[in-house]
Amino acid sequence: MFATVAIIGAGPAGLLLARMLHKAGIDSVVLEHRDRAYVEHRQRAGMLEQGTVDALRACGAADRLDREGLLHHGIELRFDRRSHHLDFPDLTGGRSVTIYAQTEIVKDLVALQLREGGPLIFEAQAVAIEQDMVTFLRDGVEEKLSCDFVVGCDGFHGISRAAIPDARTYERDYPYSWLGILADVPPSCAELIYAHSERGFALHSMRSPTVSRLYLQVPNDTDPDDWPDDRIWDELDARFAVDADWKLMRGPITQKSVTPMRSFVTEPMRHDRIFLAGDAAHIVPPTGAKGLNLAISDVVILARALERWYATGSADLLDAYSDTCLRRVWRAEHFSYFMTTLLHRAPGQTAFDARLQLSQLHRIADSRHAAAELAENYAGLR
């Protein structure tokens, strides 16, 4: 089997890259370890920067997003029992963000790939990567996929990163996790709420007009079974509390999970004809809502570089790929670190540290310059 580009991983990054290459007349094969049902129901982030929306529209993958996505013009910060709204269009020169679940992006891209694109092979486990070949297992049988280029979009636990020799890694583990829930109840807010409290961090998000997504800061190694539904709602109520007429709507919780908080970057993101994209190369804590958007940014840059190579023979964009991506990655890492350490209460945190957090939050609420800095990073740097 031969493909001009072999793509390992059928998450948003791998699927969007395949779609963009298809639109540019470059063939590819996507290998995915899991089955289709698993891939389409894997819960991940759902906040899209404008650049991500633009990329999906440009390749014809945004019809349902444009109908069902929820346009948000800002976020709400809560601390000291008060609420502060950040108006993104006003602070950023017109930019906003869109809520549209990653599961739905994947479903849209899978449907397009199967209908119009090259092969998308589920339950195909990549086991070895060379510069011009990927070895994979399908139905227990070893097969070879020859190619011009290999792109690893197989996530943090995939095999692609190991194919980059002499890679340097940088990482940080945080002393807390998120207990996340999906609930069949309309959101209690028009836009996302980021809450800082003495009890810890909380986030109110949504998946649709009828489904809410909420998170609580919890200790590492928390067992979701130790959190019955009433305990979760009571704790959310306490952390979101404000001295205003606002009520947290409760409903049936349909899913619970615990997500550890981690930052990770590997450099470089390329070796010869092997490229990394998305979580295979970098992880950010979800507080800054950057993970999905960084993955999309990576493959947009790579698709343009490959298109230039096949159209003109110029390798300049391919040669610049790693450095170009990493500049944005490190900016996102810093912003995610800033948001995470600003809003969470660390174990053993002193009263002095807590006052520093509140000082910074008050500055964001009171200073247009500080608010604009947060808004520009959140909405996505150009």
Q: Which residues are catalytic?
A: 72, 194, 286, 290, 378
Listed in sequence order, the residues at least 6 apart from 67 whose beta carbon sits closer than 8 Å to its beta carbon are none
pLDDT band at residue 382 under the 50/70/90 scheme:
low
Containing domain of residue 21, as a range? 2-44+100-171+263-340
> 126 and 132 in contact (C-beta within 8 Å)?
no
> 97 and 88 in contact (C-beta within 8 Å)?
yes
Structure letter (DSSP) for residue 226: G
Percent of the chain with pLDDT over 70: 99
Listed in sequence order, the residues at least 6 apart from 43 whose beta carbon sits closer than 8 Å to its beta carbon are 101, 102, 103, 182, 255, 257
**pTM for this structure?**
0.94
232-262 as b/e: b if 16+ CB within 10 A: bbebbeebbeeeeeeebebeebeebebeebe
What pLDDT sits at residue 278?
Answer: 97
Q: Is residue 229 part of a domain?
A: no
pLDDT band at residue 42 under the 50/70/90 scheme:
confident
Phi first, then psi, for residue 245 (nearest 5°) are: -85, 85
What are the pLDDT digits (tens) for 104-127?
999 999 999 999 999 999 999 999
Q: Is residue 382 part of a domain?
A: no
Q: Is residue 149 part of a domain?
A: yes
What tokens appear for 259 in the block?
């997500």
Q: How many CB atoms lie within 10 A of CB 229?
A: 14
Instruction: Tell me the angle at which helices 291-312 and 50-58 cross, rounded to the nearest 10 degrees.
Output: 40
What are the pLDDT digits (tens) for 167-222?
999 999 999 999 999 999 999 999 999 999 999 999 999 988 999 999 999 999 99
What are the pLDDT digits (tens) for 326-337?
999 999 999 999
Q: Is residue 233 part of a domain?
A: no
What tokens appear for 300 in the block?
């947009």
What tokens appear for 94 in the block?
């017109």
Q: Is residue 333 part of a domain?
A: yes
> 274 and 130 in contact (C-beta within 8 Å)?
no
How many distinct structural domains can be found in the chain?
A: 1
CATH number of the domain within which 142 lies: 3.50.50.60
Structure letter (DSSP) for residue 19: H
Radius of gyration of the chain (CA): 21
Partner residues linked to 177 by β-bridges: 218, 260
Secondary structure element (H or E) that encloses residue 280, with its range? none
